[in-house]
Chains A and B, each alone.
Chain A
Amino acid sequence: MPPVAESSLEVREDFPIFARRFDGRPLIYLDSAATSQKPEVVISALTDHLRNHNANVHRGVYALAQEADAAFDLAREKIAAFTGAQRQGTIFTKNVTEAINLVAYSWGRANIGSGDAVLITEMEHHANIVPWQILCRERGATLRYLKVDERGELSLEALESELARGDVRLVAFTHVSNVLGTINPVAEMTARVRAAGAVSLVDGAQAVPHMPVDVDALGADFYGWTGHKALGPTGIGVLHARPEILDGMEPFLTGGDMISSVDFQSATWNELPSKFEAGTPMIAEAVGLAAAVDYLCALDMTRVRVHERSLTAYMLERLAEVPGLRVVGPPEAEGRGGLASFTIEGMHPHDVAELADRGGVCIRAGHHCAQPLMRCLGVGATARASVGVYNDAADIDALVAALHAGREVFGLGGS
C-alpha cells in the first residue's frame, strides 16, 4: 500500500482561486515553486489598503497619509520579524532578482576588482548567475562554480578548497534549489565563507515560503527572497543585510525618498532602509505581503515544513511507480524542499506538462531558469511538481494518474 501523507493543513478554502473550475474540474495546482496562490486575507488586505488607506508615504501631514505611513512601517516590522531580521536591514525590492542585482551593483562594484573571484554554484537560478557574470566581466574578476554532485548536493570540502585559493570575495548560493529541491547547509557554508574573510549572499526564494528561516542564525551577509512565492502579491521582494554592511555601501537606484538632502551638484543619502528604496515604494504590496506573513505565522512555519516534507515523501514514493520516470536531486524528502523535478523516458517534459493539464494538473516544464544546471544534469528540460500549504495527497494522486494516462497517449507500455 502506498504511504499516505499524514497531514493536510486543511486550508484550501482560505484560497479563493480553488473555487474556480476548469472545464468543470477543480484546480490541482502543483506549481507553487513558480508562484504561490493567494489567501483571501492577502487579497482583502491589498484591496482594503487601496480602498481605505491609500496615500503616498513619508511626505504627508494629513491623517490619511499618516495611516499609510503606519501601515507601511508595520508591514516592514512584520516582514522583518518573520525572518528574524532587523527593520533597518530589511529592504524592499521588486523581487529577489532585484535584490541580487542591488548587491551586485552596490556592493559588488565597490568590492570586487581585477584578480578577485566570485564563487557561485551549478544549481543557481539565472537570477543568481547573470548579475555576477556582468559584474565579473566589468571588473575583470573571475566567476567560478561549486559543483553539484550526483545526489544533487554541494560539498563543504569543495567550498573550503575554493576559499583556500584566497581570491574569493563573495560566495552566492541558493538556500533551496528550484530544480533539485536540495536544501543547502546554509549556516555551515556562511561560517566557512566568513572565516575566509569573504561575504555571502543567499537566495532564499524557495526557502522562506516553506520552512522556518532565521536570517540572523543562518549568518548570511545578504539574504534575499520574493513575495509572490510566499503567498504575497507580485511586485515585492526583500533583501536582508546587516545594517553595518549596508551603511558602507553606495545606493543602487537613486532619486526621491532615498536622499537626505540634494544640492545642485551632489546629494547625501537617507538612513536605512530608505537609502536603498528610491522613489515611491511598493506600499500596497508591502501591506499584502505582511498579511501573507501573518497568515503563515498563524499556520506556524514548522507545521508548514512538516506538512510539505511528508507530502514530498509521498510524492517521491508515488512518482517511483511511473515507469521510466527519473527524479533529479536528493533521494529523500528530508534533504529537499517541497518539489520534485523529473523526466519520463520517451516523453519530452513539455509534453508531460501538457498531458498533466489534460488531467487537470498544473505542473511546469522547461529549464526553470537554470540552464547551466540542466547542462550538468545532461537534460534540456525537466517537468517539475511543487507543493504549497494548500496541497494534499489527493493532488499527488491526480498527478500520478495523469502521468500514467499521458504515457498511454504516447503509446508507452507498462514498464
Chain B
Amino acid sequence: MDDLYRDYILEHYKRPQNFGELDPRDLEALEHNPLCGDELGVHIRVKDGRIDELRFHGHGCAISQAAASIASEELKGMELQDVGRLDADWMIELLGIPVSATRRKCALLNLKVVRGAVTGDDSWPTGSA
C-alpha cells in the first residue's frame, strides 16, 4: 500500500466529487500552480451567507484533484465567513497523507482558489506544519 497514493486518494482522483461548472454562479476564481502549470478554477453559488453549491474545474495531479474533491464535500454548506479562516493545516489534515514540501502546493491549490473566490485573498494558505 502506497503512503501517498492511498486508495481513497486515487478514487477521488479518478472520480472527483463536485467537478464541473455552475451557471449561473455568484463567485468564481481561477488559479495556476506556477510550478507545473496546472490549473484549477471554482464556481460557487451562495445562499443565506453559505456556500450552497460549488464546482471545481481544471486539470492537475492526483494530489491536487483529490484534495479539491475531498475539500468540496466539507465546503458545501460552510458559512462564507468561515472560509477565510481555513488554513493549510485544515487541508493537509483533511487529505490525510504525508505531503512533502514539493507537493504542498498541489494539495493547497484548491483552498487558495476557494479563498480567493470568497474573500479576494489569493495568497497561498499557510499553517503550522
Contacts and interface: CB of A to CB of B under 8 A. Distances in A.
A381 B36 CA distance: 7
A380 B36 contact: yes
A347 B5 CA distance: 12
A366 interface: yes
B65 to A, nearest CB: 8
A410 B5 CA distance: 8
A381 B38 CA distance: 8
A352 to B, nearest CB: 9
Interface residues of B, number: 18
A374 B37 contact: yes
A207 interface: no
Interface string B54-85: 00000111110100000000000000000000
Given A409-B2, A410-B5, A411-B10, A381 B62 contact: no
B106 interface: yes
A77 B2 CA distance: 53
B25 interface: no
Contacts of A411: 10
Contacts of B62: 347-348, 351, 410
Contact of A367 (B2, B4, B36, B60): B36
A371 B37 contact: yes
Given A366-B35, A380-B39, A410-B5, A350 B106 contact: yes
B34 to A, nearest CB: 10
B15 interface: no
Residue picked from B14, B36, B39, B59, most chain A C-beta under 10 Å: B36
B94 to A, nearest CB: 20
Contacts of B35: 366
A348 B60 contact: yes
A354 interface: yes
A180 interface: no
Interface size class of A (residues with CB under 8 A): 10 to 19
B103 interface: yes
Given A410-B5, A411-B10, A367 B61 contact: no
A358 B35 CA distance: 21
A250 to B, nearest CB: 34
Contacts of A354: 4, 103
B67 to A, nearest CB: 13
Nearest to B39: A380
Contacts of A374: 37
Interface in A360-378: 365-367, 371, 374
A410 B103 CA distance: 18
Contacts of B10: 409-411
Given A354-B103, A381-B36, A381-B38, A409 B5 contact: yes
B5 A366 contact: no
Contact of B38 (A355, A380, A409): A380
Given A350-B106, A354-B103, A409-B2, A366 B36 contact: yes
Nearest to A358: B2
A267 B36 CA distance: 45
A374 B103 CA distance: 21
B37 A351 contact: no
> Which interface residue of A354, A371, A411 has the most chain B CB atoms within 10 A?
A354
Contacts of B59: 348, 380
Interface of A: 346-351, 354-355, 358, 365-367, 371, 374, 380-381, 409-411
Sorted from nearest, which 10 A-B pairs have the closest CB atoms? Answer: A348-B61, A350-B61, A367-B37, A366-B36, A351-B62, A351-B61, A409-B5, A380-B59, A381-B36, A409-B2
6 contacts: A350-B38, A351-B61, A351-B62, A355-B5, A366-B37, A374-B37
Given A350-B103, A355-B5, A409-B10, 19 more contacts: A348-B60, A348-B61, A349-B61, A350-B38, A350-B63, A351-B5, A351-B62, A351-B63, A354-B103, A358-B2, A367-B36, A374-B37, A380-B37, A380-B39, A380-B60, A409-B2, A409-B5, A410-B5, A410-B62
